Chains A and B, each alone.
Chain A
Amino acid sequence: MTDSMLIYKIILCVIVFAVSLGAAAYMTWGERKLAAWLQDRVGPNRAGPLGLLQPIADGIKMIFKEEMIPTHSNRWLFILGPCFFMLCACMTGVVIPWGAGWEAGGTIFPMQVTDINIGLLYLLGVVSIGVYGVMIGGWASNNKYSLLGALRASSQMISYEVAMGLALIALVMMTGTLSLKEIVAQQDQGLSYVVYQPLGFIIFIICAFAETNRAPFDLPECESELVGGYHTEYSSMKLGFFLFAEYINMFISSAIMASLYFGGYNFPFQHELGLDGNLLTAVQTAVFFGKIFIFIFVFMWVRWTLPRFRYDQLMNLGWKVLLPLAIANIIITGFVMLFMGKLG
Chain B
Amino acid sequence: MIPASFDYEVAESVDHALELLRTKEDPKLIAGGHSLLPLMKLRLARPGTLVDIGRLGDLRGVRDAGDHLAIGGLTRHHDLNTDALARQHCPLIAYAAGLVGDPQVRHRGTIGGSLAHGDPASDLPTICLVLDAVIVARGPGGERTIDASGFFNGFFDTALAEDEIITEVRVPKTGSAGWSYLKFRQRALDWATVGVAAVVGSSHGSIQGAKVAFTNMGQTPLRAAAVEAALDGAPRDAVAQAAQKADEGTDPPSDTWATGDFRRHLARVLTGRAVEEALSR
Do A and B bind?
A: no
Binding site for B on A (CB under 8 A): none
